Amino acid sequence: MAEIAAPVHNWDKDPILEVQHLFMRFGGLIAVNDLSFKVGRGDITALIGPNGAGKTTVFNCITGFYKPSEGRLVLGHGRAPTEEELATVTLNGERALVGSNSGVYLLERMPDYKVSGEAKVARTFQNIRLFTGMTVLENLMVAQHNVLMSASGYSLKGLFGLPSWNSAQKQATERAKYWLDKVGLTERADDPAGDLPYGAQRRLEIARAMCSGPILLCLDEPAAGLNPRESLELNELLRAVRAEHGTSILLIEHDMSVVMEISDHVVVLDYGTKISDGTPEAVKHDPRVIAAYLGVDEDAVEDVEAVLDEATGTQS
Amino acid sequence: MAVDTAHSAGAVAGSGSSILPGALKDAFLTGLIALGLLGPLVGFETVVIDGALGLAYRPLVVAIMVGIIFAGRLILNLTVWSPNRPPKAQAGPGPIARGVVAISPAFKPALFAFAIGFPLLAAAMTGGLSESRYLIDLGILILTYVMLGWGLNIVVGLAGLLDLGYVAFYAVGAYTYALLATSEPVNAFFASFLGETFWANWAFWFCLPAAGMFAGLWGMILGFPVLRLRGDYLAIVTLAFGEIIRLVLINWVDFTGGGAGIASIPRATFFGIPFTAGEDGFAALFGLEFNPMHRIVFLYFVILALALITAFTTVRLRRLPVGRAWEALREDEIACRSLGLNTTNVKLSAFATGAMFGGFAGCFFAVRAGFVSPESFTFDISAMILAIVVLGGMGSQIGVAVAAAVMMGGMEMLRNLGFLKQVFGDSFDPSLYRMLLFGFAMVAIMIWKPRGLVSSRDPTIYLKEKKAVSGSLVKEGHG
């Protein structure tokens, strides 16, 4: 039945990130429990779930801020890695296997700054983390640190102001200007980031993440605190990011107008386990999701569970 | 008398008579409290009468003091604390801040020109080169601290890592020069093919880079164990590191000479030409009359050059990715890591760069004094340098320079409080009050300018217009 009905999804065909059997335990608390899902290349994937479901923990595992207790996080540059490549890199204990136009990165083995610097996974934070005392432009320059650092000859070329450094700096400024224009902050380029209104700070954080040249952009509640108009603008921005730069996007979001509007793929988490995974349409009508979000009467729990079992039974 | 003052104050303030009764009542109460306190404390004095202890009474002194307190309180009540006083508009920077902004473009060149011309000025003011020794020595001292302040500014002001053990790098630099310059094997090695006096004449110029490098290396060595520490913990460990270096210097007698220190370190030379009265001395070669002040003036220019190199390098580094990374680290370490910055390297580079300049300054200290001992590298020095950085405004070059001049110059000026003897009588020793006044001054500055003399931050790059970032947005860093 599955062969006839189920269309082959992009995230199965060409995943950029594969989360496999991810566990995260804090002492006795299991924050993430055997979570597996795939993020399609070029997709906008939403990770949703009620408060405390473990979404941000998953993000922190992916971006290297937490070391997962168990599990494998496979990021494929260029194309999805083959079984052999994956087996090789897993067994030889390396962090990554980089070919000429493809690469496999095991994110769980990488420290946080390498996840961003080498594996090219950028992230934003739930509570915005800008360099508030630096100007908007400076924020975007810091994001291009690694490129600029080698261009400045680890400061030696830069100290003497060699032309190669100057041109690299100019190029970085152009890139920053491009993103400033994209998020509509060109006018405020020379203002301190801490002076911007909330919505602009959110956009700046996305621009900053994009300046680091990511292939996967992880956004932790990008629409939190935005008004409906700003949410719409955010949708446009994220679509543009994907369309013009081919950057895949993984986002945590509570704002369903954003999630249902722009995402190609929705993964639903509750108490650290995946309860649903599919297109927005499919997830919206999943009884498990409805139960998790809206809750059910205590008397009805068993009935619902029976229905759910039946539902999942027919699906698989 | 007091009442007269009160009336005139009321008239001057022109704030109406409605508040006068309340103000008088308050001042009277204050006077009463003062009387109660000062009566026993000041009113009685123990005196020795014919070998026995007796009491003398000083009602007049008490009356004057209480009168001053009463009048002072009344004046304050009628003017500064008056309820009729219009509330102060808190828009924009205060007059001092505006003044600083207004003069700042001309201020830097003026300060620079003053620093260059200072020895000449000092000689002209005191009427001769030899007489100006005190002033030029003071200039050298101030510039040493300016340089140390600028060095520590990289670690504390830019990278936001609180370092209480900066004196350790100063000591490493000083001992590097002292040990290498007095080393027999090194001397013998150079003597074998470059002449007997080569090492004595050139030691400083060879050891200066070495001292910086060693100190930078020690900065890294300190940096590693404290990478994971933040805030108070970082401060404590760096404090301990400073003490460890000093204790090692005291106790490793074979190597460092222990508490006795290392004496007769070769003096500075004019790029190989010694400042001596002899045939091949500086004075003879340049056709001048020999004067020991030549060396002092030369030292002044050496430290000025070193300080300017420090400033220039720091200004350039700030505009490079490494400098921006330091400031980003101070603002938000987690965001740094999310952008692919290796915060370990960022921290170590800040420690090493700051320590390197400390090492240069230490090397200079050794060559100036000709003698080093662990006593020169106590925690006081670290605290003083940190105070300069905090007072100057963390991250600000010009602020730190002014703070160093004010702190070191002010400390010296406070030695010359002789005029206070005329006020308080001959038995009064003004130098004892030096630290007290100094403390008051620091408290006052921290009340009015809590972020230091220069609290705004200069952006390192701009598209259209350079706008200073207000100090309230700039974070202090958490280590």
Angle at B381 between CA B375 and CA B387, to 5 degrees: 165
For A212, which of B339, B463, B467 is closest by C-beta distance?
B339
Region of B395 (left: φ > 0; alpha: ψ -120 to 50; beta: rest) is left
Q: Which of A67, A123, A131 to mutate against chain B (most B CBs within 10 Å)?
A: A131
CA-to-CA separations, A40 to A76, A250, B129, B455, in angstroms, rounded: 10, 9, 80, 48
Per-residue model confidence (pLDDT) at position B45: 82
Q: Return the percentage of chain A with pLDDT > 90, whole number.
A: 56
Q: Which of B228, B318, B320 to mutate against chain A (most A CBs within 10 Å)?
A: B320
For B390-422, what is each residue's pLDDT tens digit?
Answer: 888 877 888 899 989 988 888 887 777 667 677
Per-residue model confidence (pLDDT) at position A2: 43
Per-residue model confidence (pLDDT) at position B346: 93
Place of tokens 């620093």: B115
Residue B472 in contact with residue B393, Cβ under 8 Å? no
Residue B78 in contact with residue B20, Cβ under 8 Å? yes
Q: Is A158 on the interface with B (CB under 8 A)?
A: yes
Rounded average pLDDT over B134-150: 93
Per-residue model confidence (pLDDT) at position B6: 44
For B144-203, what is each residue's pLDDT tens digit?
Answer: 999 999 999 999 999 999 999 999 999 999 999 999 998 888 888 888 888 778 888 888
Whether residue B14 is predicted with pLDDT greater than 50 in this model: the reply is no
d(CA A101, CA A99): 6
- What is the full DSSP assignment across chain A? -HHHHPPPPHHHHSEEEEEEEEEEEETTEEEEEEEEEEEETT-EEEEE-STTSSHHHHHHHHTTSS--SEEEEEEEESSPPPHHHHHHHHHTT-SEEE-SS-EEEEGGGS-HHHHHHTS-EEE--SS----TTSBHHHHHHHTTHHHHHHHTTTTHHHHTT-HHHHHHHHHHHHHHHHHHHHTT-GGGTTSBGGGS-HHHHHHHHHHHHHHT--SEEEEESTTTT--HHHHHHHHHHHHHHHHHH--EEEEE---HHHHHHH-SEEEEEETTEEEEEE-HHHHHT-HHHHHHHH---TTTHHHHHHHHHHHHHHH-
Higher pLDDT, A309 or B293: B293
Contacting A residues, span 107-126, partner chain B, CB-CB under 8 Å:
112-114, 116-118, 122-123, 125
Rounded average pLDDT over A165-169: 89
Enumerate residues 6+ apart whose C-beta is below 8 A from A59.
Answer: A47, A123, A218, A220, A250, A252
For A225-241, what is each residue's pLDDT tens digit?
Answer: 889 899 999 999 999 99
Residue B22 neighbours by CB distance under 10 Å: 12
Amino acid identity for residue A190 in this structure: D
Q: Tell me what percent of chain B is helix, strand and coil, each rounded to the nearest 5.
A: 70, 5, 25
Give the mean pLDDT of chain B. Answer: 84
Whether residue B264 is predicted with pLDDT greater than 90 in this model: the reply is no
For A188-201, what is each residue's pLDDT tens digit?
Answer: 999 999 999 999 99
Rounded average pLDDT over A126-137: 93
Q: Which of A108, A117, A160 is nearest to A142 (CA)?
A: A117
Per-residue model confidence (pLDDT) at position A20: 93
Per-residue model confidence (pLDDT) at position B330: 92
Q: For residue B8, what pLDDT band results from cuts at 50, 70 and 90?
A: very low
Rounded average pLDDT over B358-376: 93
d(CA B10, CA B7): 5
Place of tokens 């508030």: A132
Q: Which of B353, B463, B464 to mutate against chain A (most A CBs within 10 Å)?
A: B463
Q: Classify residue B407 by its DSSP letter.
A: I
For A304-315, what is each residue's pLDDT tens digit?
Answer: 667 666 655 544
Q: Which of A123, A135, A178, A217 to mutate against chain B (most B CBs within 10 Å)?
A: A135
Rounded average pLDDT over A239-244: 91
Residue A259 in contact with residue A235, Cβ under 8 Å? no
Residue B153 in contact with residue B395, Cβ under 8 Å? yes
Q: Is A150 on the interface with B (CB under 8 A)?
A: no
Whether residue B89 is predicted with pLDDT greater than 60 in this model: the reply is no
Whether residue B287 is predicted with pLDDT greater than 70 in this model: the reply is yes
Whether residue B303 is predicted with pLDDT greater than 90 in this model: the reply is yes
A190 to chain B, minimum CA–CA distance in Å?
6
Give the mean pLDDT of chain A. Answer: 87
Q: Positive or negative, the Cα torsion across A97, A98, A101, A107?
A: positive
d(CA B288, CA A7): 96
Long-range contacts (CB closer than 8 Å, 24 or more residues apart) made by B113-118: B115/B143, B115/B304, B116/B304, B118/B300
Residue A294 in contact with residue A277, Cβ under 8 Å? no
Enumerate residues 6+ apart whose C-beta is below 8 A from A213.
Answer: A120, A144, A147
Higher pLDDT, B132 or B430: B132
Contacting A residues, span 205-234, partner chain B, CB-CB under 8 Å:
208-209, 212
| CB contact (8 A) between residue A155 and residue B343 | no
- What is the full DSSP assignment across A70-106? EEEEEEEESSPPPHHHHHHHHHTT-SEEE-SS-EEEE
- Give the containing element (helix H, strand E) for A45: strand A44-48
Whether residue B5 is predicted with pLDDT greater than 70 in this model: the reply is no
Beta bridge partners of A219: A251
For B451-475, what is each residue's pLDDT tens digit?
Answer: 888 888 888 888 888 888 888 888 8
ipTM of the complex: 0.88
Per-residue model confidence (pLDDT) at position B309: 94
Q: Is A131 on the interface with B (CB under 8 A)?
A: yes
Enumerate residues 6+ apart whose C-beta is below 8 A from A311.
Answer: A286, A287, A288
CA-to-CA separations, A69 to A53, A57, A86, B130, in angstroms, rounded: 17, 12, 20, 74
For A252-275, what is each residue's pLDDT tens digit?
Answer: 988 888 888 899 999 999 999 999
For A113, which of B320, B343, B461 is closest by C-beta distance?
B343
Delineate the domains of chain A, giving CATH numbers in brackets.
Answer: 1-120+214-280 (3.40.50.300), 132-212 (no CATH), 286-316 (no CATH)
Kindly state the tokens that stand for B126: 């005191």
Q: Return the percentage of chain B with pLDDT > 70, whole number.
A: 90
Q: Return the percentage of chain A with pLDDT > 70, whole number.
A: 92
Rounded average pLDDT over A141-170: 86
Place of tokens 């001048």: B288
Kindly state the tokens that stand for B407: 């702190």
- Give the containing element (helix H, strand E) for B105: helix B95-126
Kindly state the tokens that stand for B327: 């400031």
Residue spans per domain, chain B: 2-78, 95-416
d(CA A290, CA A296): 9
Q: Which of A303, A251, A238 is nearest to A280 (CA)?
A: A251
Higher pLDDT, B48 or A31: A31
Q: Which residue of B has its CA nearest to A132?
A: B473
| CB contact (8 A) between residue A123 and residue B338 | yes
Residue B214 in contact with residue B359, Cβ under 8 Å? yes
| CB contact (8 A) between residue A135 and residue B337 | no
Residue A226 in contact with residue A217, Cβ under 8 Å? no
Place of tokens 């993430």: A32
Task: Find the range with the poorest average confidence among A27-41, B86-100, B187-201, B202-216.
Answer: B86-100
Which chain B positions have a beta carbon within 8 Å of A208's beta carbon? Answer: 339
